[in-house]
A and B are shown apart, each in its own frame.
Chain A
Amino acid sequence: MSLSMLYALAGVGLFVLGLHGLIVQTHLLRKILALNIMGSGVFMLMVALARRAPENPDPVPHAMVITGIVVAVSATALALALILRLQAMTGRAELPEQQTRP
């Protein structure tokens, strides 16, 4: 197993770890952090798989990851603004269906 495969498997691990956090955590800020960890796992997987080319790495996944990072930052900012608005309206930073459960 090559080094790039190790990184790719670590990316899969990050993705699943993030998915677990996304399901288990109730606070929306933690859900956003979990989503970002999932995204980082995908980026890591793509960069690792691009390294499998015999000489120079495949530039296409690299270009996608570069733009993806900036887009992920802006999506996170939008999500944070949504949380702030939700908290201003309801006083809680949790989803409605999770507030009814004990």
Chain B
Amino acid sequence: MNKASSILLLALLASLAVVLGYAVLSLPGQADGLADTVAAQMDSSGVSHPVTAVLLNFRGYDTLLEMAVLLLALFGVWSLAPQAHAGMSATSAGPVLTALFRLLTPVMILVAGYLLWVGAHAPGGAFQAGSVLAAAGVLMLLCGKRLGGRLAGWPLRVGLVLGTAMFVAVAAAVMLGGAHLLQYPIEWASGLILLIEAAATLSIGITLIALFLGVRPITGQQP
């Protein structure tokens, strides 16, 4: 890129920054947004934390589609990458990393469970818990540990689709009771949200770990 065009680019980007900054500054300094609408409907959501209520109840359809996006990204990665090559599994980690992995993994699983449970009434929930679970899995991969051949087959696939499948199953099941898609009955909402979040946590964690690995794990049946 020559000098004239880079100056032109900087000028264009600076004017974009000015326009965007002006747009942000011209917004009203105080705005309720949808906070009041959400607060008014909190009683019917089944949880007491507004973000979880929005995520799993009021905008549950968005979250369902985002779970599907995660799954699609993994399908894309798996179809682009070759099957796992043997060189990846043979790395050995130092003693410090291995000891750290042994120490931290139970704590991280505990924290993930806590985040999942606490999401009903405080900051937390499926996505945070899934990320912590994924961090534990990434640590496992960095230690050179891999899934065994049997676990990498259908148990892995079931874990990957569990969240989306549970979401779709609940969404469809409430329609049998005469409600709309994802319209939970009020007395069951809390339990259904926890059920979806538990499955979603597991799936988000496993999907992120599989994305980090980047290759389709070798299954026991097909060498």
Contacts and interface: CB of A to CB of B under 8 A. Distances in A.
Contacts of B208: 70, 73-74
A59 B70 CA distance: 22
A4 B29 CA distance: 9
A54 B38 CA distance: 14
Contacts of B204: 70
A74 B38 contact: no
B151 interface: no
Nearest to B55: A63
B9 A74 contact: no
A6 B130 CA distance: 31
A24 interface: yes
Interface residues on A, range: 35 or more
B1 A78 contact: no
A19 B28 CA distance: 27
A24 B6 contact: yes
Contact of A82 (B34, B50, B66, B80): B80
Contact of A52 (B1, B33, B70, B73): B33
Interface string A35-56: 0000000000100011011111
Interface of A: 1-2, 5, 8-9, 12-13, 15-16, 19-20, 23-24, 45, 49-50, 52-64, 66-67, 69-71, 73-75, 77-78, 80-82, 84-85
Interface of B: 1, 6, 9-10, 13-14, 16-17, 20-21, 24-25, 27-35, 38-39, 50-51, 53-55, 59, 62-63, 66, 69-70, 73-74, 76-77, 80-81, 125, 127-128, 130-131, 204, 207-208, 211-212, 214
14 contacts: A8-B24, A19-B16, A52-B27, A52-B31, A53-B33, A58-B31, A58-B38, A60-B34, A61-B33, A66-B51, A67-B62, A67-B127, A74-B211, A78-B211
